Structure 1
């Protein structure tokens, strides 16, 4: 997008076309104006429109421009935080609610894909969280125990079972989560947009919001070429928030993440590597992830930005790391490379904010945007529609808290990933 092949890479080249949209021109009125056309904003718009509300979505660039169109495409349940730790972080009531909601979140994604016939290369064979060494295996053993105590369909696999499913003996075990799967994320975003438009929502791209102010009992949200007056505002810009309600950006540390996609592999290789088509990520502190697309390309990613020195360091690391995992891929070339930003919070949990009267947001997905973003979008729609109250939400209402030394931390992540990837191939 924006003539940058490193923004969305493979996903932009393989996703179905976005539904026809235009730039906002003139002044409109709606019940709700949604800022951001990613998973959260589009899910909110779809559920609001299906309930009969008048909805306008304002997107600064294009549908799925932010993390929603760039990520790996793993549709995972839960968050990074261990299940037993959530009540301690959020209190018993909110912790239990969030566990139930996000444990079931992948099913909502798959239901929407089926209901609206969204072409997004959906695979429902689960995901594999792979253990690196004894420490990684101990972490997964505990995670498995906690989820299984709650009846979740997760299974701890030993090294041999993991090698059979992944195609490498590099891991000491894995956690198979049958609730999860993979999608083509930009295709999913565009499909949600098409479904929302069909339900009656109006979506405008190339329409960045320049300011917002209370007016006539609601909010007047302005772009360069028009405005929308609405009673409610949903802010769904997350890590790509700019200067309007900038307190969201101020509490998020950007973690860069890149993906590299090989050329399509042969049928023989696809029968050995991830033969059941699970998506994978590992327990390393600087994690890596990989999965197939439907054309047989292996999409391989890790922490880092493909700019400056990272343009050469990270792809070179990717070749070395793939060679260690799968020696058969020693001579494989990457056809696509792209990257984006993950919004990280101080406790690895998302945030719900009431930014002003009738202005609400969820943000801070910490690399788990697909299923939580879809689910929280529906939750915001339910709140605006009056189906639920703030006291019924899965997260407490909090005030945004700026992260100290945020810029320093972001530089540390980017440069640290370059140093780590320059020095090692991980295994």
Structure 2
């Protein structure tokens, strides 16, 4: 058993530079000539970046991508879910819910409302609480190419975003944010990187053994469809769905789409005994009222109590978890005894604009125009992400701080 007081943040891959902001902004006045800015020294355009940040012209800061690996206690990921602002669908996107053979299509904004407000009956009473509302939807088994049923893990509202409209030659239409990933020739490709004649995976009736070469009955699966057009289609309030592993995808308007937040799953692997215990530098004592409280240092006895109580609780809960596994209890059931101090890991993909929004809320910084008071554990993650991003896009980072750390 291992006890840790710190978190891990690593940059897995990226396509992020200050020049991305410059050419994305210049297309509005220079058209195709804006591509010349891709290879220019972005230092020459420091003033443009500062202007965009100051006047909150946000879309040029979205044409980049960073994927982070994060290892932290589960209590951090509970808060991290709130910041899914990259990959999104408009409210009218239709999501199939219910049984595979007798389901219905439902707008994602209505799934969100049911999830967070409860399902209302005809006279306005709440029939089902949101805590009990975990509908099933469709996910694609990427090994077989067949559509399976899986329970939605969570539903999010992600704010107003630019929208692209993708139409296939067979008439399927998907509207999504430019960063949303679609399945194309077995790989996940962002909507903004797709073009006419590219192929994307769409829902279709296929022989069950088609992908393996073994004959079988007809089943719902996916087939490639050619894209007819990809065009901008305004801005709208957007939403996203989190799906469980191992596939992390779902069907929207008949097209296979991905979600941007992938956490390890206690359903599919045995969780390891790594737990969070605050270090001596973590302030333990809360003073004041909610909204105006502060944290101060604890004394030696308080730190001793926290350490001993946490470690003892972790040992007992993990022993119970192991006991159930040895008795043949399913991992997805046994994991219920494990606490939120258990370490988990995830991949999080974002662009600079969404990261700035995250940092403005999850770091406490004297340069911030609007003060924030984050929980220390998620602030530890945010600080490490910020340090990595600062090295990738130093001009954008400097402009963010100069503008009072307000996301554009």
Shorter chain as normaliser: what TM range? under 0.3
Name the TM-score, length of structure 2 as normaliser. Answer: 0.27
Q: Which of structures 1 and 2 has the bigger CA Rg?
A: 2
Q: Which has the higher contact order (CA 8 A, sep 6+)?
A: 1
The structure that is strand-richer by fraction is 2
More helix by share: 1
Q: TM-score, normalised by structure 1?
A: 0.26
